[in-house]
Structure 1
Amino acid sequence: MAVILSTHALHPRATAMLERAGELRIASALDTDTLVRETRDAAVIIVRAPLPSEIFVGTHGIRAAIRHGAGLDMIPVEAATEAGVLVANVPGVNARSVAEHVLFVTLALLRRFRAIDRDLRDGGWLAGRDHANAARELAGRTIGIVGMGAVGRQVAAIAHHGFGLAVLGNSRSGAGFPDFVRPVGIDELVVQSDIVVLACPLTPETTGLMSRRRIFSMRRDAILVNVSRGAVVDDEALIAALREGRLAGAALDVFKTQPLPADHPYLGFDNVIVTPHLAGITEESMMAMGVGAAEEAVRVLSGALPVNLRNPEVLERYRTRFPV
């Protein structure tokens, strides 16, 4: 039976599908040496953690690396392509989960939920209630979304149709804008928005996109929400802006270093909501991502190509390794 290695345990429905298709194994650890050793006899890898490029070097039988989700930054695509390995993903299936998270943390910041909850528990009813005078409503505000993929469009739809917000959007492709989203340049977006949401993929062009200049050009009462990748934001600039009171707050789900160190400055701000890269994780999305990845694995093992093949340039090498 073909060996399918997953970096993490999967939803029971996905597990059942893969166990019918081959021998499913879960990585015993995520360090380079372990992953290289445990993927040597694998035909398919289900990816929920960063893969070292070393697994694609030398003799192996890997047919495909399939991302459990959308972002491909966990897969060394160039190394996989060079080795004749298919790369696939499951785009869009957790977009609703991420979008709901964006609005959840935005409301929590505007209504000062962290401080209210803490002071109510520590100081009593009135201590918590005192924060309400400085709370703000979401209605009537402008949200600017960087990245108009599945997540960006879901955020836009909930913000506009659910809360009546004006929506600005920015996309590298210049496409994908619903008719209620006004396309603008990134610099105009950060200046005009009350809430700036980063929902773009990590690429060389988006690395450091939220620079010191752009962060300091945001409104003093604005909020920054990052559900993209940590490297999109200049951390030092954001920390400086928060310390100087240049922003009303931030909600960060992703970081350059994960897990976030226990002494990181972000953890010391009342007006910063920090979550451990979970915006897209719910019962529903885990089932959808797991089943989607399992379906792609089954296709590959049956001799077909993934529906969401992300490195089509690999096909000649792949067909040489695995003739039809």
Structure 2
Amino acid sequence: MPVVLLTDPIDHAETAKLQQVAEVRLLGEAQVGPLEDEIIEANAVIVRRPIPSELLPAATSLRALIRHGVGLDFIPVEAASAVGVAVTNTPDTNAQSVAEHVFGLILGLHRRIAQNDRLIRAGEWHALRADALSLHEIAGMTLGVIGFGSIGEAVAHIGHFGFGMNVMAARQTQRGGPDWVEFSSIVKIASQADVLVVACPLSASTRGLIDTRLISTMHRDAIIINAARGAIIDETALIAALREQRIAGAALDVFSQQPLPDDSPLRSCANLLLSPHVAGVTCESMRRMSEVAVSDTLQILKGKKPKHLVNTDAWPQIAERWLQPIT
């Protein structure tokens, strides 16, 4: 039987589908070795953690790396293409979950929900009620969205139609978009946004995108939300801006180093909400991601081109590699 390696658990029902046609191995289970050993025997890997590029040359039986998620920074796409390994992902499967979490963070900051909970347990009450007079509704505020893929569009839709926010967005492509969104440059958006949401993929061009220069264009009452990838924000620049109160606050679901180190200076920023990279993780989104990942895996094991192939330019090399039967 073919071997499918899971770097982490996926939906149980979808795992059962795979077990009907393949030997399914889960890293961390008894009798299953480390990634560097198991990938050598695997015909497909469903990926929920980083795959080092140096493991691929020895993985001669490997047909595909199937990303259980949207972002491709966990997979060395160029290295996979070079050896004829297919790469897929599960687009549009977690957009709603991420967008909902984003607004939980926005409301958490603007209405000081976590702070109120913490202080009321410490015996505060009257001061908190008096302080509430300084808070604002987000209705009518300007929502700036950096990245207008499925997640960015879901965030924008909730902001505009759910809260009555004015939406500005930046994106790489020039295709048409909804008329209730003002598409503009990142600098202009940062200078006008009351809430700046990072929703773009991590790439060479977006690494460190939210830096000292860009933050300096924001007004003092603005907040930043990052539910994309930690490295898109220059954390040193963000920490300085928060401590000097050059912006009102920030909320991070992702970090440049995960889990967040115990000695990270981010932990000491009072006007910062921290979330453990769970924006896209719900029962519903995990089920959708598993369904798409397993569907493509089953196609791959049959030698058929998967629906969500990412490295399409490498298809000739991939097809040639697949001429060798699975043993």
**Do both proteins adopt the same fold according to a TM-score greater than 0.5, normalized to the shorter chain?**
yes
Deviations 1:129-182 (A, max 9, x none): 344233221111000000010001000111001111000010011335322100
Aligned to 2:90: 90
* Residue 288 (1) aligns with residue 288 (2): yes
2:281 alignment partner AA: I
2:204 matched residue in structure 1: 204
1:124 Cα deviation after fit: 4.0
Paired with 2:192 and 2:93, the residues of 1 have a C-alpha distance of: 30
Which structure 2 residues correspond to residues 190-201 of structure 1 after superposition, within 5 A?
Answer: 190-201=190-201
Q: Which runs of 4+ in 1 moved over 6 A?
A: none
Tell me the equivalent position of 1:271.
Answer: 271
User: Secondary structure of 2:209's match?
Assistant: coil
User: Which AA in structure 2 matches 1:188?
Assistant: K
Give matches, 1:88-237, under 5 Å.
Answer: 88-175=88-175, 177-237=177-237
Pick closer, same or farther for the CA change 1:156–1:59 going to 2, 3 Å: closer
2:168 is paired with a residue whose SS is: strand
Q: Which moved more, 1:153-162 or 1:308-317?
A: 308-317
Q: Kindly indicate whether the alpha-carbon contact (under 8 Å) linking 1:112 and 1:131 is maintained by their aligned counterparts in 2.
A: no
One-letter code aligned to 1:156:
A
Corresponding residue for residue 299 of structure 2: 299
Deviation at 1:263, TM superposition (A): 2.0
Query: 1:95, 1:280 within 8 Å by CA — same for their partners in 2?
Result: yes
Would the aligned equivalents of 2:41 and 2:59 in 1 still touch at CA under 8 Å? no
Question: Residue 28 of structure 1 aligns to a residue in which SS?
Answer: coil
Contact 1:68 1:89 in 2 (8 A): yes
Q: What is the distance in 1 between the residues matched to 2:59 and 2:120?
A: 60
Conserved 8 A contact 1:148-1:176: no
Match for 2:36: what amino acid?
V
Residues 49, 74 of structure 2: 8 Å contact kept = yes
Shift of 1:122: 1.2
CA distance in 1, matches of 2:190, 2:267: 24
Contact 1:116 1:129 in 2 (8 A): no
Deviation (angstroms), 1:234: 1.0
**In 1: Cα distance, 2:264 partner to 2:249 partner:** 16
1:127 Cα offset (Å): 4.9
CA distance in 2, matches of 1:295, 1:126: 56
- Summarize deviations over 1:86-128 as a string: whole Å, max 9, x none: 0000011100000011111101100011210100011243354
> Scaled by the length of structure 2, what TM-score is found?
0.95
Q: Aligned to 1:187, what secondary structure does the other structure show?
A: helix
Question: Structure 1 residues 23, 131: CA separation in 2 closer, same or farther (over 3 Å shift)?
Answer: farther
Is the Cα–Cα contact under 8 Å of residues 94 and 289 in structure 1 kept in the other structure?
yes
Residues 64 and 87, structure 1, Cα contact 8 Å, conserved in 2: yes
The question of whether the paired residues in 1 share the 8 Å contact of 2:70 and 2:90 is answered with: yes
Q: TM-score, normalised by structure 1?
A: 0.96
Tell me if 1:37 matches 2:22: no
For the residue of structure 2 that corresponds to 1:190, the secondary structure is: helix
Measured in 1, the distance between the counterparts of 2:245 and 2:283 equals 37
Paired residues of 1:149 and 1:176 also in contact (CA < 8 A): no
Query: How far apart are residue 292 of structure 1 and its match?
Result: 1.1
After superposition, the Cα gap between the structure-2 partners of 1:62 and 1:267, relative to the gap in structure 1 and judged at 3 Å, is: same
Letter in 1 for 2:83: A
Report if aligned partners of 1:151, 1:199 keep a CA contact under 8 Å in 2.
yes
Distance verdict in 2 for CA 1:128–1:11, change over 3 Å: farther
Change (3 A) 1:27 1:157: same
Q: Distance in 2 between matches of 1:218 and 1:38?
A: 48
Task: Give the letter for the 2:270 counterpart.
Answer: D
Equivalent residue number for residue 241 of structure 2: 241
Equivalent position amino acid for 1:96 in 2: Q
> Is the 2:239–2:269 Cα contact (8 Å) retained in structure 1?
no
After superposition, the Cα gap between the structure-2 partners of 1:220 and 1:120, relative to the gap in structure 1 and judged at 3 Å, is same
RMSD of aligned Cα (Å)? 1.5
Bigger mean CA offset, 268-277 vs 102-111: 268-277
Aligned residue pairs total 321
SS of the equivalent of 1:196 reads strand
CA-CA distance at 1:314 after TM superposition: 1.8
Q: Does the CA-based 8 Å contact 1:44-1:63 persist in structure 2?
A: yes
AA partner of residue 119 (structure 1): L
Aligned identity (percent) is 44
Counterpart residue type for residue 256 of structure 1: S
What are structure 2's unaligned runs of at least 5 residues?
Answer: none
Paired residues for 1:62-101 under 5 Å: 62-101=62-101
The alignment partner of 1:21 has SS state of coil
